[in-house]
Chains A and B, each alone.
Chain A
Amino acid sequence: MREPPHRTGITGLAAVSALGRGAQAQLAGVLAGVAAFGPVRRFDVGGRKVTNAATLAGAGTLAEELTGVIRDACAGLTDAERARTPLVLGLHGHPDAGRSARATATVRYAAEVAARAGLAGVAKVYTCACVSGSTAIADAAAMIRAGRHGRVVVAAGYLVEPDQFALFDSGRALANDGAARPFSTGRSGLLLGDAVSAVVLEPGGDREVLAEVVGWGRAGDGCHAVRPDPAGRGMATAIGDALRRGGVSPAEVGYVNANASGAEGDSAEAAALRAVFGAAPVPVSSTKSVHGHGLEGSGLLELVVTVLAVAAGKLPVNAGHLGPDPACDVDLILDAPRRAATPYALTLNAAFGGANTALLVRAGS
C-alpha cells in the first residue's frame, strides 16, 4: 500500500537584511512599509549612475552572516541534531571569484559555512540567480514529501557588493529615483538589498511547525534569455503547479508576495496573476519595495517574510507606489497592511533564463 505523502514543515527560520537582524526585525520592517534604501557606503559607488541600495550597517562577511542565520534558525535543535542535518545553499558563487584563483572552489566555501554552523556538511549548492533559494526549497520539499530525506537546512544569501552593483548599474537595471516601485506607474528599475536567510525544513511530526510548505512549482518561460514572457505563462504554470500540489484553489490563497522588483517586466507577473486568479483577485505586494532585491538571497528572504506576515495575520504593503499602471492590474496592498483572510500564501520568484518558482505556504501547524 502506498504511504501517504510526508508533510513539509518549517520549524525554524532566521534572516538578516537592511531591515535588521532576526525574524522580528523583518516582520516589523515590512509591516512598517518604510523602504530601507539609502546611499551605499559599503564600497565606492562614485563612478555609478545609481548610488542607492538597502544595506545593513555593520554587516559581516557573507560567510559570517550565513553562519549566523543558520545558527539562529537552528536554535531549536541540539548540537547532535545539527550535526546530522545537511545544508543546502543558494548563492552567486564564491564571494572572491574573479580576484583569487582559490575562490573557484565554491563548494569548499559552502562546506566551510556548514562546518562553522555545526551542520553535517553541504548537500547541494544552487547558483540559479534570483530563484536559487526558492528552487532549493521546492526541491527539498519534494524530497521530503517523497520520503527521500529528513531534516535539512536551506540557506541563501547575498550582500550588496561592488561587482554585481556595477553590472546592474551598467545594464541600467537600477531605479534612478532612489526607490523600487513594484507594479507602479513611473517605476524605473530595481534596487539591490542585503538578503541572508535560513530555514529549517523537516517532515512534519514531533516539532512545532511555524508553517508548512504545501505546494511548489518551477517552470521556464522558454521565451528569452533574460526577459520574462510578457504573457507570464511560465509563472502562471509555476503558480498552478504549486496550487495543484497543495490541493488549494486560487480562492483559498490570501496573499501573494510577488517577485515584482520595480522593473518593466513586472507586467509579466501581473499577467500571470490575472491568468490564475481571474475575476477573484488576491491581495498582492512585493516586499522588495522595502528590503530591495537580494538576488540569490531574495527567494528565501521573501519566504521568511511571507511566513511571518501570514502567521501574524497582517499583509505587508507594496511601498513606493506612485499610481496604477494599467499593465499591472492586480489588487495591490497600499497605504496600510491588510488582515490576512486565509492562512495560505504564495511567494513568487523569477530569474534570468525565464526561470519561475512559486512556493505555497500555510501558516501555523
Chain B
Amino acid sequence: MTKQTPPGAFERIPAETVRPDPILPAVREVEVIDTDFHFLPDWETMRRYMPEPFASAFTRFPPAGGEYGADLANTKSGTGQSALGEARTAQDVLRVIDEIGVDTVIISPGFQRPQGMFNEVAVTALTVAYNNYLREEVLPASDRIKGEIMVNQRDPAAALAEIERNAHDERFVSIYTEFGGNYTQTGIAAYDPIYAACEKYGLGVTCHAGTFWQNWSPLSVGARTWTELFGISTMGTCMAYMASMIMQGLFDKFPKLQILIKEGGYWWLPDFMLRMDEFYLGHPGDIQFTERKLEAREKYLARMPTDYILENFRFSTQPVILPGPKEDLAALMRLCHGEDLFCYSSDWPHQTFDPANWVFEYGDAVPESARRKILSENAKALFKRL
C-alpha cells in the first residue's frame, strides 16, 4: 500500500479480490438459494447449438455496444467477468456451489451485454443456442441447477417465441432481461406479449444490469471511472426501468407479475418510493395517456407506486454494501423492507462476488427470521417453480 492508499475507514485493501474461503459453517446448515450466478458456456458449445448461418460465421462472441472493461479499475486483465473463475458446464456449477455453500443456484447468462450485439437476429440465435444447451446438458445434471430463459428483448416477438418454446420445462424458473442506458425501458407496452406469457406460465422476470449510460451521450462522455459507471449508472438506469414499469400501468394489466432486480442497488429505495408517491400525487394527469391506460380506459393507477414495489418486485442482494454501524444496517433493512424484498445472490464469478457469510454476521440487524427469508424463502415465493 502506498501513501495514497485511502485512509483506514475501511479495513480493506484497494482492488483486493474477495475470497470464497472460509464460508461460515452456519451457511452450510441452512438452505441457500443463489439467485444470480453467471454461467458462461464456451463459444464452441454455443456454435454447436446455434442455427446457420450464425454457427459458421460467428467464430467468436461478437462485439457488443456499451463496453467498458473493469480491467483498468481492478487492475486485472480481462473483462472482469471471470475474476473468480468460469462455469461453463454443469460440473463446474456443482463444484463451485459446493465450495461457496449454495444449495440451489439460478444461473444467469454470463455473456457480455448480449442485447448489445449489432446483428439483432444474432441475439435470437444465441438465445436459442443457450436455452437448448441448458435444457439438454446442464439442467438435467442436477435438481440444484435452475435456469433463466434467455430472450432477445430487442425483438419482443422473438422473445415471446423463445418463452413459448421453453416454458414447459419447469427447470426454467424465470426469464432474463437486462437494463441499461443503451436499451429502451422494459416497462413500455411493446413488451406486453412477453409479460403476458410470463404471467401465464408463472415465470419470474429478471431485470439485470447490462449497459451504462447510453454510449456517446453526455453522461457517458462525462464519466471516467468504473465507480461512476458500474457503481452509479446502474442505480440510475435501474430506477428508469422500475419507474417505467410502475408508472405505465404494467402491474394493473399483469397483477401477478414478479420482477427480480439484479445489480441495480436497493438502498436508494426509500427515496424512490417516497418520491414516486409524491410526484404521482402531485402530477397524475399524464397517466391516462400511457398506452395501457388508454387501452383500459383508466385515468389513474389502481394503487400507489410504492404498493407495486412491495408486491411485484424483489431485489437480489449482490453487491450488498454494509454500512459501518450495525444500527445503520438495521435502519436500512427496515426502510427498504429488506426482510421481505431481498433474495440472496453471489454474482459469482465477478469481482464483487458476495459469499453468504454477511447474512450471519450482523446479529439483530439481520435476525434469524430475516436470514431464512433472504437466503431461500423470498426466492421460493418469487419463483413459483423452485
A binds B: no
Could you tell me which B residues sit within 8 Å of A by CB distance?
none
